[in-house]
Amino acid sequence: MKKTTFSTGSKTLSALVLGAGVLFAPAVAGLAPAMAAPAVAGLPDFTELVDKVGPAVVNIRTTERMRIRQGAPGEEEMQDFLRRFFGGAAPAPRGGQAPRRGRSAPQEEEVQRGVGSGFIISQDGYVLTNAHVVDGADEVYVTMTDKREFKAKVLGADASTDVAVLKIDGAKLPSLTIGDSNKIRVGEWVIAIGSPFNLENTVTSGIISAKARDTGEYLPLIQSDVAVNPGNSGGPLINMRGEVIGINSQIATLSGGYNGISFAVPIDEAMRVADQLKKTGKVTRGRIGVQISELNKEVAESLGLKSGTRGAEVAQVMPGGPADKAGLKAGDIILKFNGADIARSSDLPRLVGGSAIGSKAIITVWRKGAAVDLPVVVEEQQGEKTAKGGERSKAPADTPANALGFKVSDLTAAQKRELGVNGGVVVDGAEGVAARAGLREGDILLQLNNAEIVDAKQFNAAVAKLDPKKASVVLVRRGDTAQFVSLRPSAK
- pLDDT at site 277: 94
- pLDDT at site 491: 64
Residue 94 lies in a domain: no
Q: Based on the fold, state whether residues 279 and 305 are members of the same structural domain.
A: no
- Above pLDDT 90, what percent of the chain? 37
162 is an active site residue: yes
Q: Out of 262-271, 393-402, 446-455, which region has the weakest mean confidence (pLDDT)?
A: 393-402
- pLDDT at site 70: 56
d(CA 490, CA 277): 57
Q: Based on the fold, state whether residues 335 and 459 are members of the same structural domain.
A: no
455 is an active site residue: no
- pLDDT at site 128: 97
Q: Based on the fold, state whether residues 355 and 467 are members of the same structural domain.
A: no
- pLDDT at site 76: 56
Q: Based on the fold, state whether residues 203 and 276 are members of the same structural domain.
A: yes
Average pLDDT over residues 130-142: 92
Q: Based on the fold, state whether residues 115 and 231 are members of the same structural domain.
A: yes
Q: Based on the fold, state whether residues 139 and 222 are members of the same structural domain.
A: yes
Q: Based on the fold, state whether residues 344 and 434 are members of the same structural domain.
A: no
d(CA 63, CA 65): 7
d(CA 369, CA 485): 17
Say if residue 87's pLDDT is above 90: no
Q: Based on the fold, state whether residues 187 and 209 are members of the same structural domain.
A: yes
CATH number of the CATH domain containing 441: 2.30.42.10
Helix/strand/coil (H, E, C) string of the chain?
CEEEEEEECCEEEEEEEECCEECCCCCCCCCCHHHCCCCCCCCCCCHHHHHHHHHHEEEEEEEEEEEECCCCCCHHHHHHHHHHHHCCCCCCCCCCCCCCCCCCCCEEEEEEEEEEEEEECCCCCEEEECHHHHCCCCEEEEECCCCCEEEEEEEEEECCCCEEEEECCCCCCCCCEECCHHHCCCCCEEEEEECHHHCCCEEEEEEEEEEEECCCCCCCEEEECCCCCCCCCCCEEEECCCEEEEEEEEECCCCCCCCCCEEEEEHHHHHHHHHHHHHHCCCCCCECCEEEEECCHHHHHHCCCCCCCCCEEEEEECCCCHHHHHCCCCCCEEEEECCEECCCCCHHHHHHHCCCCCCEEEEEEEECCEEEEEEEECECCCCCCCCCCCCCCCCCCCCCCCCCCEEEEECCHHHHHHHCCCCCEEEEEECHHHHHCCCCCCCEEEEECCEECCCHHHHHHHHHCCCCCCCEEEEEEECCEEEEEEECCCCC
Q: Which of 158, 162, 428, 480 is catalytic?
A: 162
The reply, when asked if residue 424 is annotated as ligand binding, is no
Question: How many Å is the Cα radius of gyration of the chain?
Answer: 33
Say if residue 106's pLDDT is above 70: no
List pLDDT tens digits, range 409-454.
Answer: 888 877 777 777 788 899 988 888 888 888 888 889 989 988 889 8
Longest dimension (CA), the chain: 103
- Above pLDDT 70, what percent of the chain? 77
- Tally the domains of the chain: 4
Say if residue 208's pLDDT is above 50: yes
Burial of 292 (C-beta count, 10 Å sphere; 0-12/13-18/19+) = buried
CATH number of the CATH domain containing 186: 2.40.10.120
Q: Which of 132, 135, 205, 341 is catalytic?
A: 132
Q: Based on the fold, state whether residues 127 and 183 are members of the same structural domain.
A: yes
Residue predicted with more confidence, 473 or 391: 473
Q: Based on the fold, state whether residues 142 and 117 are members of the same structural domain.
A: yes
Per-residue pLDDT band for 104 (boundaries 50, 70, 90) equals low
Average pLDDT over residues 143-153: 94
Most confidently modeled range among 79-83, 256-260, 308-312: 308-312
List pLDDT tens digits, range 324-371.
Answer: 999 999 889 999 999 999 888 888 888 898 888 899 999 999 998 899
User: Within 10 Å of residue 420's Cβ, how many Cβ atoms?
Assistant: 13
Per-residue pLDDT band for 152 (boundaries 50, 70, 90) equals very high
Q: Determine the length of the chain.
A: 492
Residue 164 lies in a domain: yes
The reply, when asked if residue 231 is annotated as ligand binding, is yes
Query: End of a domain among 226, 261, 283?
Result: 283
pTM as predicted? 0.61
List pLDDT tens digits, range 277-311.
Answer: 999 898 888 889 888 888 888 888 888 888 778 88
Residue 391 lies in a domain: no
d(CA 227, CA 251): 9
Average pLDDT over residues 94-116: 63
Residue predicted with more confidence, 309 or 189: 189
Q: Based on the fold, state whether residues 250 and 279 are members of the same structural domain.
A: yes
Say if residue 83's pLDDT is above 60: no
The reply, when asked if residue 54 is annotated as ligand binding, is no
275 is an active site residue: no
Residue 198 lies in a domain: yes
The reply, when asked if residue 132 is annotated as ligand binding, is yes
Closest CA to 142 of 152, 128, 157: 152
Say if residue 112's pLDDT is above 80: no
- pLDDT at site 387: 33
Q: Based on the fold, state whether residues 448 and 345 are members of the same structural domain.
A: no
The reply, when asked if residue 232 is annotated as ligand binding, is yes
Structural domain boundaries, residue 264: 56-72+106-283
Residue 42 lies in a domain: no
Say if residue 100's pLDDT is above 70: no
Average pLDDT over residues 183-199: 93
Residue 401 lies in a domain: no
Residue 50 lies in a domain: no
Looking at every residue in the chain, the average pLDDT score rounds to 80
Q: Look at phi and psi of residue 96 and say left if phi exceeds 0, alpha if psi is from -120 to 50, else beta.
A: left
Query: End of a domain among 283, 305, 325?
Result: 283
List pLDDT tens digits, range 3-50.
Answer: 333 333 333 333 232 333 333 334 434 434 444 444 445 678 999 999
Residue 400 lies in a domain: no
Say if residue 107's pLDDT is above 70: no
List pLDDT tens digits, range 211-221.
Answer: 988 765 567 89
Q: Which of 117, 175, 224, 233 is catalytic?
A: 233
- pLDDT at site 78: 55
